[in-house]
Amino acid sequence: MRLPALKITGILAAAGLLWGMVYRPLRMLLADWFPGSDAGIILFFVFLVISCSIVFVAARWMFRSAESLHAPYRQFFSEHPVPMWVYEWGSLRFLAVNDAAVKKYGYSQEEFASMTLHDIRDPATIPELMEDVKRTDTTISYRGIWQHRRRNGETFYVELHSRPTLFQGKQARIVMALDIDAEVRQMIEARDISSRYDLLAQVTPDYVYYYDIKQNRIARNHGPVTLFGYRDADVGDTMEWWQERVHPEDLPNVMQHFDITCTLCKDRLEARYRFRCADGHYKYVYDRGYIIYNEQRQPIRVIGVMQDVDESTRQKQEIELLSLVASHTANSVIILDARGRIEWVNEGFRIMTGYLQDEVNGKLVKEVLSGPDTDPATVLQIEDQMARASAFNIEILNYKKNGAHYWVKSDVTPVLNAHGELQQYILIQTDITERRTFMQRLQENNDTLHEIARINSHEIRKPVSSILGIMSMFDLDKNEPGLNNRLLAMLRECSTELDAMLHKIQDKLRQTNHR
């Protein structure tokens, strides 16, 4: 018999049987001892005293047995690591709490004794709590997720498990509260991240992908369609589809870089390569990925973004090529800002002028290279052309750092931004001093030849004509000796004049040869 009532009933039944067996002998014995007395009443009181004593002793024994039986359960409740409590149904007042609840919520046992469930909830959630209480069936178990509040005001999520019980004669419920705050917040954060990822994947112009390495499946946004011109039906979801479109010269290096990154268990992956578009031409892309590993440090997923950097990459290559040319050309290359002040010069500028970069930074070209014989009109013409932001070329006399002058041909090109606004000037100067000198000598020689031609056509012709005329007038018969003498004198004079002309031509030719 396990129930105390059955045990007490059994004891009383046994006592009643025993009393029934001794009742008659005891009554006869009392009648003999006390003649004239009512033996039945005496035996009744005796039986009542004995019965009460038996019930008292049995109840006390059963109570002590129950106390010893319930002690482990009380200890289990009190020392359980999970917060637990018992509250009265209806008033929601705490009847008992364990040590874990005291530690978790920050209230003492005495404080809990004067509190209700309202006191561990955010006031804003109490109406929701009362609605839930109304809906809860008091005869069944309950499970739910709620947000509780500590004594210091901090809130956290708990998973409540409760069931009905009878405690101290009152209808109550015993509750176990599991702290799931970290899990719930991670789930909220993950859901938020997922929502943001989905939104980002839709609004970003880049190619966003999610690669499941184990399943060999790639989920993508609109990138293949909007960036590379593929149709949705033509876009594959495997690694092979991507590999087939990476430029054959780039693929080995990209895959090797990926394998090395995974071997070293690095999280970040970056690569630049060419990717084939739907029309067959290749675009330069910048691929950045984040690699996720499992507990065995094996790569399982890659989340990445592929950016179209084709235009900027080709511009960079062109700039690098131009920089290489500018750095090694013998010509002087000068980059000016929008105000016409020097920002950068190449090595050819240093060789041509003798000035270093630091000596000319921020200065106007005319402040550095103009000199006494530089034509002011040419300088004004250059300023006027630059003010119009138009391309032009012009020749001008410059001066080196050591004071020597030289001629240059300047090709000036303005650089405009996408809005047509002036950003810079590129000034390329070619040393044309030798050409200018040669042209000057050629001009001087041409002038000399013109002078010789003039002498031949005009000055020499006169004495030659005179000589020819004199020769035709000679008296060959010698009838007039005086005439011939006069003619000979005139002939000598013309010959002297002709000789002077020939010496003059010889001097001109000598000057030409000496240039």
Q: Which three-class secondary structure state does DSSP give residue 141? A: coil
Who wins on pLDDT, 472 or 494? 494
Whether the pLDDT of residue 494 is over 70: the answer is yes
Q: 510 falls in which pLDDT band (50, 70, 90)?
A: low
Once rounded to an integer, what is the mean pLDDT over residues 363-386? 93
Who wins on pLDDT, 158 or 17? 158
Once rounded to an integer, what is the mean pLDDT over residues 116-135? 89
- Arithmetic mean of pLDDT over the chain: 81
What's the pLDDT score for residue 69?
Answer: 52
Who wins on pLDDT, 218 or 494? 218
Q: Which three-class secondary structure state does DSSP give residue 445? A: helix
Residue 97 CB-half CA count within 13 A? 24
CA distance 231 to 224: 8
| Inter-residue contact 269 to 303 (CB < 8 Å) | no
Helix, strand and coil content of the chain, in percent to the nearest 5, comes to: 50, 25, 25
Whether the pLDDT of residue 452 is over 70: the answer is no
pLDDT tens digit sequence for 48-68: 777 777 777 766 766 665 555
Whether the pLDDT of residue 291 is over 50: the answer is yes
> How many residues does the structure list for the chain?
515
Q: 239 falls in which pLDDT band (50, 70, 90)?
A: very high
Once rounded to an integer, what is the mean pLDDT over residues 350-361? 92
Q: Are strands 342-345 and 392-399 parallel, antiparallel or unpaired?
A: unpaired
Q: 315 falls in which pLDDT band (50, 70, 90)?
A: confident
CA distance 432 to 218: 63
**Residue indicated by tokens 């410059």:** 398
Q: Measure CA 137 to chain center.
A: 54
| Inter-residue contact 407 to 433 (CB < 8 Å) | yes
Q: Measure CA 285 to chain center.
A: 15
Kindly state the helix (H) or strand (E) to which residue 188 belongs, with its residue range. Answer: helix 181-203
Once rounded to an integer, what is the mean pLDDT over residues 36-48? 67
CA distance 375 to 379: 7
CA distance 47 to 12: 11
* 269 Cβ contact partners less than 8 Å away, ≥ 6 residues apart: 257, 258, 261, 287, 288, 289, 290, 291, 302, 304
User: In 26-169, at which residue ranges do the beta strands (DSSP E only) sit?
Assistant: 84-88, 94-97, 142-149, 155-167
Whether the pLDDT of residue 290 is over 70: the answer is yes
SS (H, E, C) 147-158: EEECCCCCEEEE
pLDDT tens digit sequence for 401-429: 999 999 999 999 898 877 788 888 989 89
Q: Which three-class secondary structure state does DSSP give residue 210? A: strand
What's the pLDDT score for residue 138?
Answer: 77
Phi, psi torsion values for 93, nearest 5 degrees: -85, 140
Q: 1 falls in which pLDDT band (50, 70, 90)?
A: very low
Once rounded to an integer, what is the mean pLDDT over residues 444-470? 64
**Residue indicated by tokens 């009362």:** 130
What's the pLDDT score for residue 273?
Answer: 95
pLDDT tens digit sequence for 172-222: 999 999 898 888 777 766 565 555 555 555 656 788 888 999 889 998 888
Whether the pLDDT of residue 7 is over 70: the answer is no
What's the pLDDT score for residue 454?
Answer: 63
**Residue indicated by tokens 């045990």:** 7
% of the chain exceeding 70 in pLDDT: 73
Whether the pLDDT of residue 451 is over 80: the answer is no
DSSP state of 432: -
The one-letter amino acid at 202: Q
Least confident of 3-12, 29-38, 195-204, 313-322: 195-204
CA distance 161 to 382: 89
Q: In what order do the strands lie in the sheet with 217-220?
A: 217-220, 207-212, 299-308, 282-293, 268-276
pLDDT tens digit sequence for 130-168: 988 888 887 888 888 889 999 999 999 898 889 898 888
DSSP state of 429: E
Phi, psi torsion values for 154, nearest 5 degrees: -70, 140
CA distance 437 to 441: 6
